[in-house]
Structure formats: structure tokens, C-alpha cells
Chain A
Amino acid sequence: MREFMQYVRNAFYGATGWNEDNSYKDLNVTARELIDFPLPRGIRLSLSSLATPHFATSYQLCNVGVVDGSISYLHSSVPLTAVPAQSDKIPLGALMRSYRGLHQLGTRGGAQWSWETEPQAGTTPQIPAVADMRPIPNKDKSSLLYGRLYLPQSLLEAMVIKRFSSALQVQMSAVSEQSLRNGGTMLSVVQYDKGKYGLEGLYSTDGGLLGLRGLYNFGGDASGTAANSQNGPGSQESAEKERIYGRFSVGGELYYGTLNKSGGMSLGARFATLPTHKGTPLTATLTINPLMGNINTTYAVLAKDFLAMATRMEFNVYSYESDWAVGLELWSNRRPAGFLLGADPSLHLESDEPEPPKKKDRSFRAKMEWRLDDPEPEPAKVEKPEGKTQEYLGVFKARLNSNLNLGLVWEGRVKSLIFSLGTGVDLHKLGEPFRSLGLEVQYSS
């Protein structure tokens, strides 16, 4: 489950039309989220609010042995008016769905972040709905400020996102804490997104780390737009585009620590089906770290609308170490703990079939006149809105890795509270299997 502030941040990206997928960092984010989802630990209560369209607050109280908490504030220069922030209205998919379809390239301003990403039965969730927001005039100069203070530890997180043009964005994040070297660390990222390719340069004050990341898209819609611009529709390439239902991306990253004279690099490639693809959406990635001899492959598939699965395999050609992990996400439209909440009147009304009309007795007048009643007019059939009733109410996530560590999480909405209940199980020690147990409750208004 994403935190409320992350949800608002994503909403900001959506409102300003920033494609956060077009970064090498998020090459295999789909499989990562399906497998490495965070397990709740202890009890965590968060109370959040999007008080004004520009301002959001969030308070959190945790109890993992010790009680601590955090206070966070967020300011966005872009009004987030159309963002549903109430916890009974937030689309669960935006908070919980791991499988992330690709956004359309180069459609900035046209297709905004879809608030209707919540999957609905019978519809493909990847199709971005037409934005119901009015166009924002100054979104190219928008900015976001975010700060969070963890209280007993006095740890301060701060983040500034500043958009300079439609393609250029700067992100700066900083952490200040006493135990860290130099009292804290700061990371600046310059992001340049040109649709077909995306570039990132970063600098971290910790060790003077310099980094460069790049991603290049081709095939599918990426080449399609180029073809369209060059020689119009109806050519041979459009036929080829019909055959390939996905987009290829290749990229790489390079790091160099100026202070400790160390570095690292990796190369990666991805194939992902386009949202327009009618078949099973899938994403496959391959990353290679040639310095360390590490090969990492992931495969994620949205098998059904309510079921997503992912696998990851790692192998090191130098040390022959290997690792695998599988993850699964199962959406449910069942009411969670429905037997407890059976008295819910709205649910009762919704689920109840309309009563079959009772067979009426002959009326008194008809009896008097020795005739039958006139046939009554047929009742008009009520069309049931399919989408509304089959709303998903919860999701079950599971993962298993090569150490036989099993992670189980149920996330869902009960009334206007969003719950996340999870546990970690070590299958090696079946005597005391539960490694961790946690419950997260989130409420926002």
C-alpha cells in the first residue's frame, strides 16, 4: 500500500503530465512492486488530509516495540482539485495496484494521469481515461515541496520537485539525522524526458556520487509516432506496428563516487505490451551488471484483470550465486469480513435482488363481475450498472523467495478506513513461523 503522500505525489505527476515511467530507475518497477511489496510491521495509524487543493498533511503513529511517529506536509503549486483524497473515495488501484501499465508516450497534456485507474471488471484498466480535469495553464513551472519529521529520532526528510519546462524537472531530496555522516545527505536528480528517450543525472553529497541514467524507447508506439511524423499512415510500418503490440526500451546507468573512487554500472532492456494491446498484458525485463557479473530477469503478467503475477531470477556468473522470487496479486470484489459487516444497509440494498412481484388476488370488482383482472402492465426492466456493483474491495498479495520467506498481505477498504494486514513467514522454521506481523490503518479526508 502506498502512503498517502506518495499518492499525492503521483497525483502531482499526473496533474503536471510527467511520465514517471520513462526512467531507467523504474525499468522493472512492475515486477519489483509485485515481489518486494512492503510488509507492515507493528501497528501504524495514519491520518491524512488534502486540506486545500494545494496543501496536504499527514500524521503517522507507529508502534513497533517503541512508539514513534512522523508529521509530514506537502505543498503543490498545482491545484489538485480533482484528486479524490477521502479514504472512502480513493481508488484502491491507485493505492495498491502493483501492475503498472505503460503510459502513452509523447501525449503530455493530452492524456493526463487517470484517476480511474481503479480496475473495473470488464474494462481494461490500462486505457487511460480522458482526464476530467481542466487544463492547467502554468504546469510547466509547477513545483512541489514536501517535508517529513520523524519525531523521537529527529530525522527530517525534505523534497523539492521543480518543473522547469515540459521536459525538464529537478528533484532534490535530503535527509538530516544526527547519526548520519556529516549530519545528513542530499540527492539532486535532473530529469529530462523527451518521450522517446529519458535522461537523468544525479549527484549525491554522500561520497560525492555522480550518476547518469538513460532510457531509450523504440518499437510500438515509440516508433509509430516517428513513422506518423515522417510518412503518414497507411504505410508498411503501420502494418508492422499491428504485429508488435509492445514497446521496447533499453537503457543503462553509470555511477562514480568522486570521494571514494568507486563506481558501478548496469545495462537493461524491457519489453512491455502497450495499453492498446487486447491480449494479456505482460512486462519482461533483463538487466545485466557486467562489472559484477550479475544477470537479473523479471517477468510480470496480468493474467486476468484481478490476477497479476511476477517472477524474478538472478544469477551471478562470477560467484554462481542465484536467487529467485515469485509474487502474486489477487483482487477481490468480496466484502472483507462481510459476515461481520452484514448489517451494512447499503450493502444489503445493493446485493438484494428486487423482490419478485407477488401474485395478486383477484380484485373484488372482478369477482363481482365474474371476470379476470386486466393484465397489468409489465414492469420496466432495471438496467444494472455493471461497473458500479463489481467494484474491487480488497487485494491479497503474496510472495515467496529462495530463502523460503513467505510474505502475505491483505489490503482493503472497510467503510472509510483503508487497512493493510500483513505477516512474514519463514518456512524454514515452522516451529515459530511468524517473523513479523503488522497492521496499518489509514484514514484521509
Chain B
Amino acid sequence: MAFNFNWSPLTADAGFYERARDLLTTALNKSPKPPIIVDDIFVTEFNLGSVPPDLEILEIGDLAEDRFRGIFKMCYSGDAFLTLKTRVQANPLNTYLSGKPGFASPEPLSASSSLTIPLQITLSEIKLSAFIIVVFSKQKGLTLVFRNDPLESLKVSSTFDSIPFVRDYLQRTIEQKLRDLMMDELPAIIHRLSLQIWCPDQIIKEDEEQKEAVDHTVNPLSTPPLDAVDAEGHLLDPAAISELSLEAGTEPQSLFSQKSLFKLTSLTSTQETSALFTPSIKEVMYRAWAGPSDRFDTAGTPGPATPSLHRTTSYTNGTAHTYTFSDTASQDQGNLPSRPSLVSLNSATAGLSLGSGRHSKAGRKKKTRVVNLRGKTSSEGESEAGESSETASTSAAPASEPVMSHPILEVPEEDMPSNASKVRFGGAHPRRPSFRGDREPAKVSEAPVPSIEISSPNTTQKQASRQSSPVDIKVPADWSRPRAPSEISPSVILEQAWVMKMAGEIARRVYDEKNRNPQFWEERDDTPPPAYEPRS
């Protein structure tokens, strides 16, 4: 991937330098000035030069048409320069006395008389080296943050170059000031500039926006924990969480157990004070245990699958029939897994390449940044319905799961985006989720999908709804949910038998397939899901 930056068009805009000068002037005069500077600082000349900075992409966290997030390494040693004008106090004794208590002052008679001199400072040969975090969104503008102190070196030339004391003082003062400017003011300036360029209407209500943004970041209820407990440690149901709000004055801490918070605090403090005592916290994986736990994972124990188990507890009843299916299937295999059906379903259907072990790893590494290539997937001819539902599911945080109008179709897909995105890095393997697997027979033809029978009504619904309108997708998807259980409920035994038969059939086919194409299966780095282990 390569980016092409145009450095010169910045200067093509006639008003750019004027705007930048004004912004710099206000920024420089905002903070209290050292006593040697007795007047406002004016930026008279400002030029970015012709040499662009070197940018190295270290990481891209998010990439879309309207937003971008990434980390860059920037090196700059170009010919940009900046000229400031101000007035300085030339008498060192005068600046020495300012800010000193009068009681112990030497009280010079006239030796401290002031002499102010107009000063012109030119900053050139600026050498920068920094890690930059860039976050861009069309709505919020561009945010740029320096991760470290960007200023490497700088040449300050002024009217006082012949006097070494003043020159050194100015060099030191200006370097310090510039560091502050880079770290604190420049992000704000760039943000304001970007707002002017991309969303001028936002500037008017910028203050309100910032206030709102602060509110959003502060609100802990927007992202409640997966398993919220009250002060006594009892589980809270999601409806209760959604009822909670900061405005209502409910204590947000009550979502988290006081005991756990206390333990966490003591844990942090022990790490800070290097105390030997480590409080034991229930259901917590300590980093020191990481080695053994990895071995634990590969042994196929249900441990890694607990996150998805936890998630299923907060699901609505609509997922029930999916459960029955996989459970029966696994029972049919005579191997009762503690692993929830969703996992096995996904790993078996959506990508044969996806081992359960990899999946569990993906579950643990959920915080790794992921490039979202949704634009590309849609170009592959995916149905609009699928895309829209997937968008809904990706945007749906766990907090939104209890919403009852959620289509059942999305429930199995809840885990899809993370899996699918992982697969995309894998490259050649199909990344179709289970319910769309049947429409890509070329890729999964060798491995018949176990969910064919169940998902086929859904897909037909989908195709039907696609012809009508993509907006209506939720309605048919919704009424597909009662249908599926209704098929089961009149003749449960029949259905069970059918499901068992199907599962057996699938397992047999999978076994055959594996025999036929052993190296394909060997690509999987881990053991297959227990439900589909070949029967001996």
C-alpha cells in the first residue's frame, strides 16, 4: 500500500499562510509568557518550504472512505522557516527581579531599569522526528497527536546573535516554547483547520460539540461491561443496564462490583509500589500465567470458549433454535462439547480454513486493530441484505443485543465480522458466513455446509427481500425467526430425528471430504471442532 502526499498544494491555497499565521499568533500568545518577553508575539513570516517530511506507516487501525486511523513515523529536515516579531527585555537584572519576592530583593537603584528592544526571531533548520497518531473522520475532522517530543533540533537566529548569553537564553526559551506548542497547541490548530476545510458548519457549534464529545467519552454506560453485576455481585440483566443513566443520578460504579474495584486498585498500587502482595481476583488471567494457559488452549479444553459462552447468556431467546441444532448435532456425535454451538457452527461453515484454535486466539486478541475492508466485500457481489445486516451487526455493540427487534439472522453473524476479518488476512479462504455459504458453492462445494437446511429459508427470505427493498430486510428476517421454531414445535421428535440425520450426513460428508482431500484439512493448524471429529 502506498500513499501519495502532495506537499506543494498546501501552499497553492492563497489564504492558507495567512490563516496559519493568525492561528499561530493566537496560539503563541495564549499561554503566559516568560518575563523576558514584554509584548505580544506576532508571526510575520511562515513558510513550509519545498521539502516534504518523510512519513513511514507503522500501523493502520481503521481505513474507510470517510475515516482513517493510523500511526506514522515522521522525520523532517526541510527548509521550512518561521519568523516571529516581539519585544524583549534586554536588561537581565530586570528579568531577574521579576517574580522574586520583594522582601529579599537586592533592590537595585537603577541597574534594573528596563530596556525593551524589538526582536525578530527566525526559526529554521527544524529537525523533527516523531511518532504521529492520525485520526480522521469526515464528521469530526482531523486529529493529530504526537506520541513523543517531536522537536529534535532547531536553529534560532535573532537580532542578539552576537551576545552569547541572550542567544543561549533565547534558544532555550524558544525550544521549550516550541515543544509546548507542538505537543499541545498544534493538534488543536490542525483540528480547527481541518474543520474549516471539511465541515465548516461544525465550527459554529464547535464548543457544544466538544462538550458533547466530552460527555460521550465520560459516560461509562455507553459501553457497559459484558457481565454487569451490582454492588452485591448479582448479575444485572441488560434491560436494567439500559435503564440506568447518568442523568438519573444512578451510581455508575454499581455496575462494577465494589470488591473487584477495590482489588483492582490494590493490584495497581502493588505494581506501582513494588509490593510483594498480589491480591487474587476471581476469573482473571494473570499475565504471568500466560505460558501454561496457551498450552491449555491447544489441549482443546473449554476454557478459551468462555468468552462466547458469556456472550450467549445475554442473547435473546431467538438464538435458541440454533443452539438446539448444534447441540443435537454434537450429541449425535456422542461428543458433548461445552463449546457453544455458535463457535462450531462458524468454524465449520464459514471457513473450513478456520480452526477452532485460531478462532479462540482471535477471541483473545480482540483488541488488535483490524483493517475493515467492507467496501471490497460489497464489490464481490455480496447481497445488499447481507451487507446491511453485517453493518448492523458490526455496529451493534453487546449492549445493543437485548434489543428485541434484532433480526435472528444477525445472531449467528455476531461473531462473523471478527472471524471474517481474520480470514481476510488469510487471503484465499472463503469468508462467507454460514448463511451465505450456499450461494458460493464454488468455494465451499467440497464441504457441504451443515446449516444448509436451516439457513435456506433465511436465504430465500433474503433473496425475496432483496428484490423488494433492502430496507425491509428486517421484517422478513424477523418473521423467519418464529417460523423456524414453529417447524420444530409441532413435531419435535420428527424434527430432532431429521436434524440428527442431517448432522450425521454432514459429518459423514465432512469425513469423506477429509479422506478425499487430506492436505486441505491438514492446513488447519488446530484440531477440528469436537462436533466434527471423525468418528473412529
Contacts and interface: CB of A to CB of B under 8 A. Distances in A.
Contacts of A316: 113, 115
A211 B113 contact: no
Nearest to A256: B93
A189 B112 CA distance: 18
Interface stretch (A11-19, A21-29, A79-87, A336-344): A21-29
A261 interface: yes
Given A319-B116, A319-B117, A175 B104 contact: yes
B106 interface: yes
A282 B103 CA distance: 29
Contacts of B165: 260-262
Interface string B80-106: 000000000011110010001101111
Contacts of A180: 100-101
Contacts of B112: 264
Contacts of B117: 318-319
B93 A314 contact: no
B32 interface: no
Given A255-B93, A262-B96, A187 B113 contact: no
A28 B101 CA distance: 22
B272 interface: no
Given A175-B103, A261-B165, A268 B111 contact: no
Nearest to B92: A262
A433 interface: no
Nearest to B107: A25
A166 interface: no
Interface stretch (A272-280, A292-300, A419-427): A292-300
Interface stretch (A55-63, A199-207, A364-372, A398-406): A199-207
A294 B115 contact: yes
Interface in A162-210: 173-175, 177, 180, 185-187, 189, 202, 204, 206-207, 209
Contacts of A202: 106
Nearest to A314: B113
Given A211-B108, A255-B108, A261-B165, A292 B103 contact: no
Contacts of A291: 91
Nearest to B117: A319
Nearest to A288: B110
Contacts of B114: 292, 294
A28 B100 CA distance: 22
Given A174-B104, A204-B104, A206-B100, A294 B110 contact: yes
A173 B100 CA distance: 13
B14 interface: no
Interface in B153-175: 165
Contact of B115 (A261, A263, A288, A293): A293
A292 B88 CA distance: 13
A99 B109 CA distance: 18
A289 B92 CA distance: 13
A333 to B, nearest CB: 34
Interface string A257-270: 10011111110100
Interface residues of A, number: 48
Interface in B46-103: 90-93, 96, 100-101, 103
A314 B115 CA distance: 12
B36 to A, nearest CB: 11
Nearest to B118: A319
A374 interface: no
A329 interface: no
Contacts of B92: 257, 260, 262-264
B90 A292 contact: yes
A175 B101 contact: yes
A144 to B, nearest CB: 15
Contact of A266 (B90, B104, B113, B116): B113
A289 B111 contact: yes
Contacts of A177: 101
Interface residues of B, number: 23
A442 interface: no
A253 interface: yes
B93 A262 contact: yes
A316 B107 CA distance: 20
A225 B116 CA distance: 45
Contacts of B93: 255, 257, 262-264
A44 B111 CA distance: 33
Nearest to B99: A180
Contact of B109 (A28, A189, A207, A293): A28
A287 interface: yes
A296 B113 contact: yes
B110 A287 contact: yes
Nearest to B113: A294
Nearest to B96: A207
Nearest to A184: B104
Contacts of A319: 115-117
A376 interface: no
A264 B91 contact: yes
A185 to B, nearest CB: 5
Given A261-B165, A262-B165, A204 B106 contact: yes
A28 B113 CA distance: 14
Contact of B110 (A173, A175, A262, A266): A266
Nearest to A24: B109
Contacts of A293: 115
Contacts of B96: 206-207, 209, 257, 260, 262
B104 A173 contact: yes
Contacts of B105: 187
B399 to A, nearest CB: 47
A264 B115 contact: no
A253 B113 contact: no
A321 interface: yes
Nearest to A213: B109
B109 A25 contact: yes
A185 B113 contact: no
Given A173-B103, A174-B104, A264 B109 contact: no
A185 B104 contact: yes
Nearest to A318: B115
A140 interface: no
A319 B115 CA distance: 7
Contacts of A20: none
Nearest to B87: A319
A36 interface: no
Nearest to A187: B104
Contacts of A253: 108-111
A159 B106 CA distance: 14
A6 B326 CA distance: 94
A318 B115 CA distance: 8
A157 interface: yes
Interface in B217-256: none
A255 B96 CA distance: 12
Nearest to B93: A264
A287 B108 CA distance: 12
B116 A321 contact: yes
Given A264-B111, A291-B91, A296-B113, 13 more contacts: A25-B109, A155-B101, A209-B96, A255-B93, A255-B111, A262-B93, A263-B92, A266-B111, A287-B109, A288-B110, A314-B113, A316-B115, A321-B116
13 contacts: A157-B104, A175-B103, A187-B106, A207-B96, A255-B106, A264-B112, A266-B111, A287-B109, A289-B110, A289-B113, A314-B113, A316-B115, A321-B116
Interface of B: 90-93, 96, 100-101, 103-117, 165
The 7 closest A-B CB pairs, nearest first, are A262-B92, A264-B111, A266-B110, A264-B93, A294-B113, A287-B110, A292-B115
